[in-house]
């Protein structure tokens, strides 16, 4: 009797919205932390280069450690979430992410800073997939679309916080204290997740929204590897892994590291003003995800709205490549439009899912998300190498200063990558928002 009284009695009703929002809120807070940490090097460029005596290439490599670990976690993430549940993955991820942020904040060597940044990247890599699974249990299926869109928008706000707000706090308290504070907050979040988050409403005595659609059995490692090999049989897949590396990866490379120093060194803006521009691009990216998702549903197409977004991104970076010294009155609106266009990358996952059989949906989603990260983990160090190659020897406060020609060569490299990705997008076959098998693009 005592044992049975401790088991929650299932109510005849689904969970109240406020409880569902509380569960989602803890998850999305960790997702926001990931976006914040992703772009912090852009605002802290001068501090990092000065304190660790970094060249541009070394800074690019340090920043890319986040993406190295993030990309490496994409394939096992789905299997881990299915096997252990989102709650356990979230609190362990938050714990590791908090420790990584503290290590980065206290690092006295490049190796220690890279390791701390890598821990953060590897930990937050689980956030998106875990949040989708958690939401499918706590929210009605009719609300999942808007919940997913809002989740992406809230996460992107983390990147906005890593713009002007981070710059102001770093100027006032020092960058190490600010990054350390973010680590402490996430450690507190880890404790809250372990204490209060639940994988399913039934653990709180309510009916689960996933009750009629039980989760699939956890897959073995062998099954995951078999699926990973099989997805490449479908023509759209290789294209959709490469496409976001350009149409989104270039955007992340620019806003996450090299955009702020470009506006500071070439256009003589203050760091706060430059951060405001890249923050605006992040907001445009968030709005673009909502806009192109809406257009995709309305047009009943994936390829057409993706092409429209890709065109906006292509035009913006074409001007940067041809005339990086153009007036800000031209460059800033185009930068914002390119951010808006990059938001179309959200269609990648739906497009990819509809290009393979349903049993491979999770595997192809992980592969597509890894494709997003291929861009910045490659581009950020290469851009640094290009800048060092064209450095004229000018220093300011012990930090290398790069001129317009150096940035122009770097942006030509980025533009060519976007152009290749746009060409790959042209080669995809439209799915018309239908599951694989109905006029399947994979055949």
Q: Using alpha carbons, list the distances in angstroms from residue 339 to 188, 221, 278, 336.
A: 33, 37, 9, 5
pLDDT tens, residue by residue, 278-334: 999 999 998 888 888 878 888 989 999 999 999 999 999 999 999 999 999 999 999
Q: How many domains does the chain have?
A: 2
CATH assignment of the domain containing 140: 1.20.1250.20
Residues 349/26, Cβ–Cβ less than 8 Å = no
Question: Do residues 239 and 169 share a domain?
Answer: no
Residues 417, 383 contacting (CB under 8 angstroms): no
User: Is there a single domain that holds both residue 67 and residue 41?
Assistant: yes
In a domain, 7, yes or no: no
Closest CA to 368 of 71, 66, 38, 65: 71
- Output the pTM of the full model: 0.84
In a domain, 154, yes or no: yes
* pLDDT tens digits, 242-289: 999 999 999 999 999 999 999 999 999 999 999 999 999 999 998 888
**Helix/strand/coil percent split, the chain, to 5:** 80, 0, 20
Q: Are residues 95 and 224 part of one domain? A: no
Host domain of residue 347: 220-437
Flag whether 306 is in a domain.
yes
d(CA 300, CA 79): 31
The set of residues, in sequence order, having a beta carbon less than 8 Å from that of 412 and lying 6+ positions away, is: 321
Identify the burial level of 386 via C-beta atoms within 10 angstroms of its C-beta, where 0-12 means exposed, 13-18 middle and 19 or more buried: buried
DSSP 173-234: H-HHHHHHHHHHHHHHHHHHHHHH--SSGGGGTS--TTTTSPPPPPPPHHHHHHHHHHGGGS
Give 10's pLDDT tier (boundaries 50, 70, 90).
Answer: low
pLDDT given for residue 142 in this prediction: 66
In a domain, 409, yes or no: yes
Q: How confident is the model at residue 443 (pLDDT cuts 50, 70, 90)?
A: very low
d(CA 246, CA 303): 16
**Same domain, yes or no: 21 and 156:** yes
Residues 135-189 have pLDDT tens digits of 888 988 667 666 777 787 888 889 889 888 999 999 999 999 999 999 999 999 9
């Amino acid at each position: 009797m005592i044992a049975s009284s401790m088991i929650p009695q299932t109510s005849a009703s689904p969970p109240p919205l406020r409880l569902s929002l509380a569960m989602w809120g803890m998850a999305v807070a960790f997702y926001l932390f990931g976006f914040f940490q992703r772009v912090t090097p852009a605002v802290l460029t001068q501090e990092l280069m000065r304190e660790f005596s970094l060249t541009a290439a070394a800074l690019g490599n340090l920043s890319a450690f986040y993406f190295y670990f993030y990309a490496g976690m994409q394939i096992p993430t789905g299997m881990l979430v299915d096997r252990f549940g989102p709650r356990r993955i979230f609190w362990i991820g938050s714990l590791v992410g908090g420790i990584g942020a503290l290590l980065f904040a206290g690092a006295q060597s490049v190796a220690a800073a890279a390791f701390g940044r890598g821990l953060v990247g590897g930990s937050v890599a689980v956030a998106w997939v875990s949040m989708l699974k958690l939401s499918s249990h706590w929210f009605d299926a009719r609300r999942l679309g808007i919940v997913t869109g809002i989740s992406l928008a809230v996460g992107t706000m983390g990147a906005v916080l890593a713009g002007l707000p981070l710059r102001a706090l770093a100027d006032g308290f020092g960058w190490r204290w600010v990054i350390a504070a973010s680590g402490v907050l996430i450690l507190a979040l880890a404790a809250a997740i372990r204490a209060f988050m639940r994988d399913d409403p039934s653990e709180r005595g309510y009916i689960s929204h996933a009750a009629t659609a039980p989760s699939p059995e956890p897959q073995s490692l062998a099954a995951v590897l078999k699926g990973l090999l099989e997805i490449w049989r479908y023509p759209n897949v290789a294209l959709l892994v490469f496409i976001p590396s350009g149409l989104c990866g270039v955007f992340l490379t620019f806003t996450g590291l090299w955009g702020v120093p470009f506006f500071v060194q070439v256009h003589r803006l203050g760091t706060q003003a430059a951060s405001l521009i890249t923050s605006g691009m992040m907001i445009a990216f968030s709005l673009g995800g909502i806009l192109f998702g809406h257009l995709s549903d309305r047009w009943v197409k994936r390829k057409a709205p993706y092409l429209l977004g890709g065109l906006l991104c292509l035009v913006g970076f074409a001007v940067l490549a041809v005339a990086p010294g153009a007036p800000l009155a031209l460059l800033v609106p185009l930068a914002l439009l390119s951010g808006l266009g990059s938001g179309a990358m959200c269609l990648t996952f739906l497009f990819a899912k509809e290009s393979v059989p349903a049993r491979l949906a999770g595997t192809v989603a992980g592969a597509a998300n890894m494709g997003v990260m291929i861009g910045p983990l490659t581009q950020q160090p290469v851009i640094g190498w290009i800048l060092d190659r064209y450095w004229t020897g000018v220093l300011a406060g012990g930090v290398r200063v790069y001129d317009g020609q150096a940035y122009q060569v770097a942006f030509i490299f980025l533009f060519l990558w976007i152009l290749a990705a746009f060409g790959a997008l042209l080669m995809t076959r439209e799915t018309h928002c239908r599951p694989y098998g109905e006029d399947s693009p994979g055949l």
